[in-house]
Every structure is written in C-alpha cells, then in structure tokens.
Amino acid sequence: MDLSSQSKVSGFVIPVEGLKSPEERLQPFAWFQKMRKESPVSFDAKRNSWDLFRYDDILAVLKDPAAFSSVRPQQGPVLLGSILGMDPPKHHQMRNIVSKAFTPRSIAELEPRITEIMGELIAQTEGKTEIDLLQSISIPLPVIVIAELLGVPAADRQLFKDWSDRIAESVEDDSEAAIQKFLADKEKVRRELDDYFMKVTLERRKQPEDDLITKLVQAEVDGEKLTDEEIMEFCILLLGAGNETTTNLITNAVRIFMEEPSLQEKLRQQPELMKGAIEEVLRYYSPILAMNRYATKDVEIGGKQVKKGDLVVTWIGSANRDEEKFPDADRFIVDRTPNAHLAFGQGIHFCLGAPLARLEALIALPLILAHFHDMRLPEGTKLEAIPSTFVYGVKELPVQFTP
C-alpha cells in the first residue's frame, strides 16, 4: 500500500530510516544533523519520497505552492480533505472565509476563560506532589478550549475528549493487519464526527449561537459561503490538528524546564522572557516534525532532480536545528533573537491556530511555574516518544514537584 498517502495522520509511523526505534524518535536530532551534513536532499526509494533537511530548501518549498502542492494524489482518512490539503485558488477562498471566523481578536477574547480552565485543572492537583502533566493539564486544556470555541455543549465534553483521543491514537506496528485496523478505526471516528458536526451545523443554521460554528455558517467572502461539508471538515481539522500539537507544545516546554532546571526560577523572576521562551520551545522541540508536498512539475532542489508527482517531505524539525540558520542550534537559548523557526509552517498554509496555541501556552506555563516548584522527573523515568514520525512529543511526562 502507499504509506505516504497516510503519513499526515498523527500517530502513524512511516518507515523512515533514522526514526525506526522509539529511542531515535525521542532524539531525532542526531539523525537530522547527519542528514543535513551528508544528504540534505535525499531520495528514499523504499518510500518513493524525497526528504529535505535544510532550512533554506524547506523554506523555498513551503513558499512555492505552485511547484509543491498540498493536494494528496490519494485521499486518506481524517484531516486529509481539509484546507490543509488544498491548493490555490480553492485554498485562498477557503482560508479567506475561515479567517473571518477565526480572527486574532476572537482568539484574544478567550484569555479570561483559558485562565479559568487552567485554574480548575490546577485545583484538581491539590494535595499531590507528582502528576502526569499530559493527563492533568496538557491534554485537557486544548480540548476544553476548542470544545468551547466551537460551541460544543458541556454535556458532550466527554464524547468530544474520546474522539480527540481516538484521532490521536497511533499504530506502532507496521504490519498490514495493524495498518488496516488503524485505518478502519480512523474511518469509524471520522463517520461519528461527521454525524456529530453535521447535526450541530444544521442546528446553528436554524438557531445561531455565539460560537465558532455559527460564525463559520455566517462567514461569507465575495458571495461565497461554506457548505455543510466544508464546515464539518474544518471542525474536524481543528480537533485533530489543533489539540495534539498544543498538548505537545505545553508538554515539551515543561520537559525542557526539567532538563534545564535553572529555567524555572529564571522564568518566574523574569516573566517577560516567557513569550520568547515559547518560541524557543517551538524551535527546539517542534511539535510537528514534517509536512508533505507533491511536486507539480520536474524541479531541481539542492542540485537534485525531483520529478513531477514525487512526494517531498519537509522536515521542519530539522530546519529548526539547522546551524546555518540558528547559531548554537542544539542549545536552548531562552531569549534567542532572531528566531525565525518554521514550527507553524510558512507561506499560504501558515498555521491558522498559531495565535491560539501561543496564547494557551502563555497562560498555562506561568501558572504551572507558579504552582509547581522545583519540577523534576522522578528518579529512573525513561521518557517514551509518541509513536509518530510526524508529531513530536512524549507519551507521559511524570512531574514531581514541591507545591
């Protein structure tokens, strides 16, 4: 089967040479460095794909959607029919409409509510001296925020959380049977989500509310509106692309705070450093490691001849560690400037949810630092990477602390 067509689904491990073992997936940076040096534009005959590792090559690809398409030759499960997988002019039209509903102002208005949700999550850790950061904070926070933004009633919250977990579920074993089961599961979630969001969309058409789905129903550009299917697709994308990535941003930040404990006190003393620190987390432990593009014509990259139709994998996790672009790239520098990382992509598909992800981290991390002192990994903890070659994070992050 064509593995590349499914590779955008998080939790899916494609057989990439340097990322086969869980250890390599926890520390992919040595492989990235080797590839940047030895084979920055390399063809993998087994996967029939080009892998790009250098910042400049990747930036050039992301900025040229005419030559490098986001439309997959074969559609796969979940997420793939969404705005992410569109090219201009369709992408432009869709992006204009959804941007009207998803404005920086409407995101900024969420601040008090995000603070409140964080307060509730922290209150639930009362009396504890050890938590799994994922279960206690980094998973629930973005799920609740998205659910409320979309206007999902509180009664459906658990349902919503289960779907979100099932979208993020992964397959480690790349046998044909395991892959088939994985795809069947994703299809099932997809159908349940379709039904759910279709129902809510129809309800909002009849009875508008103050929520994102209503805004999507009403948004119009040049007389064009979204169809019910497009609204449904977009909601599912938010659930799939927005939650797990934000979870990993918060988790990866706390992981660094424990790897470099002096950062904890520094950020408490100098809260103005937090904004830059979040950008450095995005660069250093990028929540998304790679994106796919397809060459629309024969084209040369770094002296290599890419053929029309070839899959091109842009390893942004490697671009963000490119020493040609970032001096001392393998060091976490809390106030690194400039910091033009590619963690949110670049060009026409630049992450629409970046202001929301940044805001959630900017509220969550200072509160985590304020309530959990002297954060450390319990003795003997061995971190395990999420079994994915596209999403970067850990399965659990046990945190011991002094309240």
Q: Which residues are near ligand HEM by CB under 6 A?
A: 70, 83-84, 95, 146, 237-238, 241-242, 245-246, 249, 287-288, 291, 343-345, 349, 351-353, 356-357
Nearer residue to ligand HEM within complex by CB, 41 or 238: 238
CA dihedral 101→291→303→323, nearest 10 degrees, is: 90
Query: Which residue has tokens 């609740």?
Result: 144
Distance (Å, rounded) from C-alpha 354 to C-alpha 341? 13
Q: Would you say 68 or 401 has its CB closer to ligand HEM? A: 68
**Side chain identity at 65, as an amino acid letter?**
P
* 6, 186 Cβ separation under 8 angstroms: no
Smaller CB separation from ligand HEM, 356 or 401 = 356
Whole-number Å distance between alpha carbons of 321 and 330 = 6
Which H helix or E strand runs over 114?
A: helix 111-123
What span, in angstroms and rounded, lies between the C-alpha atoms of 210 and 31?
48
Query: For residues 11 and 287, which CB has a smaller minimum distance to ligand HEM in the complex?
Result: 287
Strand residues in 209-289 grouped as ranges (E): 220-221, 224-225
**Taking the mean position of all CA atoms in its chain, how far away is CA 164?**
13
Q: How far is the CB of 264 from ligand HEM (least distance, A)?
A: 21
Q: Which residue is nearest to ligand HEM (CB)?
A: 353
Nearer Cβ to ligand HEM (84/306): 84
By beta-carbon proximity to ligand HEM, the closer residue of 7 and 264 is: 7
User: DSSP E strands: which ranges in 72-172?
Assistant: 130-132
Nearer to ligand HEM, 42 or 106 (CB): 106
Give 300: exposed, middle or buried? Use CB within 10 Å, 0-12, 13-18, 19+: exposed
With respect to ligand HEM, which residue has the nearer C-beta, 101 or 171? 101
What is the SS3 assignment for 3? helix
Q: In one letter, which amino acid is 75?
A: Q
Nearer to ligand HEM, 183 or 278 (CB): 278
We find the least distance from the C-beta atom of residue 4 to ligand HEM, in angstroms, to be 14
| E strands, 165-310, in order | 220-221, 224-225, 291-295, 299-301, 304-306
Query: Looking at beta carbons only, is 28 or 287 nearer to ligand HEM?
Result: 287
CB of 152 to ligand HEM, least distance (A): 13
Instruction: Count CB-CB contacts under 10 A for residue 401.
Output: 18
245: tokens are 């990535």
Q: Please check whether residue 47 is in contact with residue 270, taking contact to mean a CB–CB distance below 8 angstroms.
A: no
Q: How far is the CB of 401 from ligand HEM (least distance, A)?
A: 24
In angstroms, the CA 235 to CA 204 distance is: 14
Buried b (16+ CB within 10 A) or exposed e, 331-349: ebbbebeebebbbbbbeeb
Angle between helical axes of 111-123 and 354-371 (0-180°, round to 10)? 40
